[in-house]
Structure 1
Amino acid sequence: MPAFLREDTTRVLFADPTLGESTYRTLFIDPGTAEIRGDLPTYGSSGSLPVRTWISNLHRSLNLGEPGRIYSELAASWLWVIAVGGLLLWIERIRRKRAANTSAAANTRPVRGRARTVWLHGTTGTVMLLAFLFLSATGLTWSASAGANVSTLRTALDWTTPSLKTTLTGEATAAAGDHSGHGAGAGAGPGQGTGSTLEGTAFDPAIFDTVARAARADIVTAPMIDIKPSVKPGTAWSATEAGREWPASASAVAVDPATGHITNRLDFDDFNLAAKLTRWGIAAHMGLLFGLPNQLVLLGVALALAAMVVWGYVMWWKRRPTRGTAWAVGRPAPRGAFLRGHWAGVLIAITSMVALGLFLPLLGWSLLVFVVVDTLVGETQRRRHFRFASHQKG
Structure 2
Amino acid sequence: MQTTLTAPSNNDASRNYRILWRWHFYAGLFVMPFLMVLAITGSIYVFKPQIDTALYGDKLFVASSQQARLGYDRQLAIAASAVPKEATATSVSVSSNPRRSTEAVFRLASGDSTSVYVNPYSGEILGTLSVQHRLMQQVRQIHRDLMLGKWGGWLMELAACWTLIMVGTGVALWWPNKAASVWGSLLPRAGLRGRALWRELHMVIGFWVAIGAVFFILSGLPWSSFWGSNFQALVTWANVDTNTNKSVETAKTEHVHDAATSPKADAAMSMDMPMKMQDLPLAEIPWAVGATTVPQSNLAHLSHLSSHDSALPPQRLTIDQVAAIAASKGMLTYQLALPGKTASVFTASYAPGAAEFLRSDLDRQRTLHIDQYSGKILKDMRFADYGVVSKAVTLGVALHMGEYFGLANQLICAGISLTLLGMAITGFVMWWKRRPQKALGAPKRVLQPPASIKRWKGYMALMGMLFPLMGASMIVVWLGDTLFFKNKA
TM-score normalised to structure 2 length: 0.58
Q: CA deviation at 1:155?
A: 4.4
102, 116, 131: which is aligned to 1:27? 116
User: Relative to structure 1, is the Cα distance of residues 361 and 17 closer, same or farther in structure 2, using a 3 angstrom cutoff?
Assistant: farther
Match of 2:101 in 1: 9
Q: CA deviation at 1:119?
A: 2.4
User: Is the contact between residue 95 and residue 334 of structure 2 (CA under 8 Å) also seen in structure 1?
Assistant: no
346, 352, 361: which is aligned to 2:468? 361
Hey, what's the Cα distance between the residues in 2 that align with 1:247 and 1:362?
A: 34
User: Is the contact between residue 188 and residue 200 of structure 2 (CA under 8 Å) also seen in structure 1?
Assistant: no
Hey, what's the Cα distance between the residues in 2 that align with 1:171 and 1:368?
A: 51
Q: CA deviation at 1:286?
A: 3.0
User: Is the contact between residue 183 and residue 189 of structure 2 (CA under 8 Å) also seen in structure 1?
Assistant: no
Q: CA deviation at 1:52?
A: 0.6
**1:13 match: secondary structure:** strand
User: Relative to structure 1, is the Cα distance of residues 258 and 138 closer, same or farther in structure 2, using a 3 angstrom cutoff?
Assistant: same
The correspondence of residues 321-360 of structure 1 with structure 2, limited to 5 A, is: 321-322=436-437, 332=444, 334-337=446-449, 340-341=450-451, 346=454, 350=457, 353-360=460-467
Match of 2:72 in 1: none
Hey, what's the Cα distance between the residues in 1 that align with 2:376 and 2:409?
A: 38
User: Is the contact between residue 169 and residue 234 of structure 1 (CA under 8 Å) also seen in structure 2?
Assistant: no
Match of 1:388 in 2: none
Question: Which amino acid is the alignment partner of residue 111 of structure 2?
Answer: L
Hey, what's the Cα distance between the residues in 2 that align with 1:72 and 1:88?
A: 24
Equivalent pairs: percent with the same residue?
A: 26
Question: Which amino acid is the alignment partner of residue 247 of structure 1?
Answer: D
RMSD over equivalenced CA pairs, Å: 3.7
User: Relative to structure 1, is the Cα distance of residues 170 and 54 closer, same or farther in structure 2, using a 3 angstrom cutoff?
Assistant: closer
Hey, what's the Cα distance between the residues in 1 that align with 2:100 and 2:150?
A: 36
Q: CA deviation at 1:225?
A: 0.3
Match of 2:127 in 1: 38
* 1:228 paired to 2:309: no
414, 419, 425: which is aligned to 1:299? 414
The correspondence of residues 107-256 of structure 1 with structure 2, limited to 5 A, is: 109-113=189-193, 114-155=195-236, 158-159=239-240, 162=244, 165=248, 207-220=318-331, 224-233=333-342, 236-242=345-351, 243-248=357-362, 249-256=364-371
**2:339 match: secondary structure:** coil
* Unaligned residue ranges in structure 1 (runs of 5+): 44-48, 173-194, 383-394
**2:94 match: secondary structure:** coil
* Unaligned residue ranges in structure 2 (runs of 5+): 1-92, 259-300, 303-311, 352-356
Hey, what's the Cα distance between the residues in 2 that align with 1:104 and 1:352?
A: 29
Question: Which amino acid is the alignment partner of residue 241 of structure 1?
Answer: Y
User: Relative contact order (C-alpha < 8 Å, sep 6+): which is higher?
Assistant: 2
Hey, what's the Cα distance between the residues in 2 that align with 1:302 and 1:350?
A: 29
362, 370, 390: which is aligned to 2:477? 370
User: Is the contact between residue 220 and residue 400 of structure 2 (CA under 8 Å) also seen in structure 1?
Assistant: yes
TM-score normalised to structure 1 length: 0.70
User: Is the contact between residue 240 and residue 252 of structure 1 (CA under 8 Å) also seen in structure 2?
Assistant: yes
Q: CA deviation at 1:103?
A: 7.4
Deviation by residue 1:27-68 (Cα, 9 ceiling, x = unmatched): 22222333332232225xxxxx71111111221223344443
User: Relative to structure 1, is the Cα distance of residues 3 and 104 closer, same or farther in structure 2, using a 3 angstrom cutoff?
Assistant: closer
Question: Which amino acid is the alignment partner of residue 207 of structure 2?
Answer: T
The correspondence of residues 377-388 of structure 1 with structure 2, limited to 5 A, is: 377-379=484-486, 381=488
Match of 1:74 in 2: 158
413, 430, 448: which is aligned to 1:315? 430
* 1:95 paired to 2:206: no
The correspondence of residues 44-55 of structure 1 with structure 2, limited to 5 A, is: 50-55=134-139
Match of 1:286 in 2: 401
Q: CA deviation at 1:274?
A: 1.3
User: Relative to structure 1, is the Cα distance of residues 157 and 315 closer, same or farther in structure 2, using a 3 angstrom cutoff?
Assistant: farther
Hey, what's the Cα distance between the residues in 2 that align with 1:36 and 1:104?
A: 62
**1:316 match: secondary structure:** helix
Q: CA deviation at 1:126?
A: 1.9
Q: CA deviation at 1:136?
A: 1.0
User: Is the contact between residue 162 and residue 470 of structure 2 (CA under 8 Å) also seen in structure 1?
Assistant: yes
User: Relative to structure 1, is the Cα distance of residues 310 and 209 closer, same or farther in structure 2, using a 3 angstrom cutoff?
Assistant: same
**1:266 match: secondary structure:** strand
